[in-house]
Amino acid sequence: MNTKILVIGACGQIGTELTAKLRLQLGKDAVIASDIKEGTDEFMNSGPFEFINAMDKGEILEAVEKHHITDVYLMSAMLSATAEKYPSKGWDLNMASLLNVLEIAKAKKIKKVFWPSSIAVFGPTTPKKDTPQTTIMEPSTVYGISKQAGERWCEYYFNNYGVDVRSLRYPGIISWKTNPGGGTTDYAIEIFHEALRHKKYCSFLSAETRLPMMYMDDAVEATIQIMNAPGSEIKIRSSYNIAAMSFTPEVISEKIKGYIPEFEITYKPDSRQSIASNWPQSIDDTEARKDWNWSHQFNLEKMVERMIYSLSNKYKLMEPELNY
Ligand code: SER
């Protein structure tokens, strides 16, 4: 059977770029995009689309049957900062959507499922530097609790029902095409928009808050790579640590000053600070590198250059030279 993919949450930050990349590789009709809301005109015209509320199992099942879906990527979630404002909604969305997909995968013999976990599964008692794959996990946010429970469910469905579910613990994902919404790592995107438009930014995290981050292209690549890897290489059925870079607001602002010397950063930590303070500063992703050959392409310098270049083009502000 030919691969036929359903991306749920396709209009979100990662879903948008993941859908585009999958369509480039497999053809637009092999990838059904779905979301509870419409995407941009460009996105809606780029291939087949279904309205799906991820909390409604019937709607997912209907699309799976209608399109003879073989693989599902479940990208809808309520992120950390928003879920702290609406704890029960966050829990309900993040859990119900996953259990719906796992149940359908079990019943309909879906070949493969991708579901993202997060560095938010770690908490205040986790070692913060080079956080290992297997360690203490006592998350203190609703988002983190839902991701940790989700990891357990993924492993459970694999062990007990043979559902081939694969997962990554994404760090903060940095991109310029689609904005993130409601995450603690969103500052690392906002800072570029504000630097280019207003030459200043007020950070909601303190100067020295170090967090693991990754450029979008690497996140999409890792996602497709783990899904394409032979099942025998996927030794971890909860979720894999993956890493690319770690930095603080102060460090990234210095890099931005290299392009925009007038740029000024100020700090006014808000409630998101306490979320960030309980997350790892850097991640040990040895297992992913060993098991299915993961490696990142974008370090801090290359990411900053690409963000400045792409957003400058978008805002038509300047045309910096790319050094690579
Ligand atoms: N980027 C996410 C957040 O900040 C972390 O997975 O909530």
Which region holds residue 27: left if phi is over 0, alpha if psi is between -120 and 50, else beta? left
Atom of ligand 1 at shortest range from CA of 172: 1
Atom of ligand 1 at shortest range from CA of 170: 6
Among 143, 187, 242, 277, the mutation site with the greatest number of ligand 1 atoms within 8 A of its Cβ is 143
Among 119, 146, 185, the mutation site with the greatest number of ligand 1 atoms within 8 A of its Cβ is 185
Give exposure, 64-94, as e/b (b: 16+ Cβ within 10 Å): beebebbbbbbbbbbbbbbbbeeeeebbebb
Strands (E), 184-287: 200-203, 211-215, 240-241, 245-247, 264-267
Q: Give the chain's residues under pLDDT 70.
A: 317-324
CA distance 280 to 197: 31
**What type of residue is 28?**
K
Q: What pLDDT sits at residue 253?
A: 98
- Alpha carbon nearest to ligand 1 atom 1, residue: 172
CA distance 177 to 15: 11
The partner residues of 54 in beta bridges, in order of sequence, read none
Residue from 143, 187, 240, 309 carrying the catalytic annotation: 143
pTM of the shown model: 0.96
Among 80, 141, 211, the mutation site with the greatest number of ligand 1 atoms within 8 A of its Cβ is 80
Question: What is the secondary structure of 109-122 as a DSSP string?
Answer: T-SEEE--EEGGG-
* 257-269 tens-digit pLDDT: 999 999 999 999 9
How is residue 101 written in tokens?
């997909």
How is residue 248 written in tokens?
């603080």
Q: Is the CB of 94 under 6 A from ligand 1?
A: no
Provide the CATH number for the domain formed by 174-212+244-283+298-314 in this structure: 3.90.25.10
| Inter-residue contact 214 to 296 (CB < 8 Å) | yes
Q: Is the CB of 170 under 6 A from ligand 1?
A: yes
* 187-220 tens-digit pLDDT: 999 999 999 999 999 999 999 999 999 999 999 9
- Provide the residue ranges of all domains of the chain, joining segments of one domain with +: 5-169+216-241, 174-212+244-283+298-314
Closest CA to 32 of 6, 70, 66: 6
Atom of ligand 1 at shortest range from CA of 279: 5
CA distance 83 to 182: 8
Fold of the 5-169+216-241 domain:
Rossmann fold (3.40.50)
For residue 277, report the distance from its CA to the centre of ligand 1, in Å: 13
Q: Is the CB of 123 under 6 A from ligand 1?
A: no
CA distance 83 to 63: 28
Catalytic residue status for 143: yes
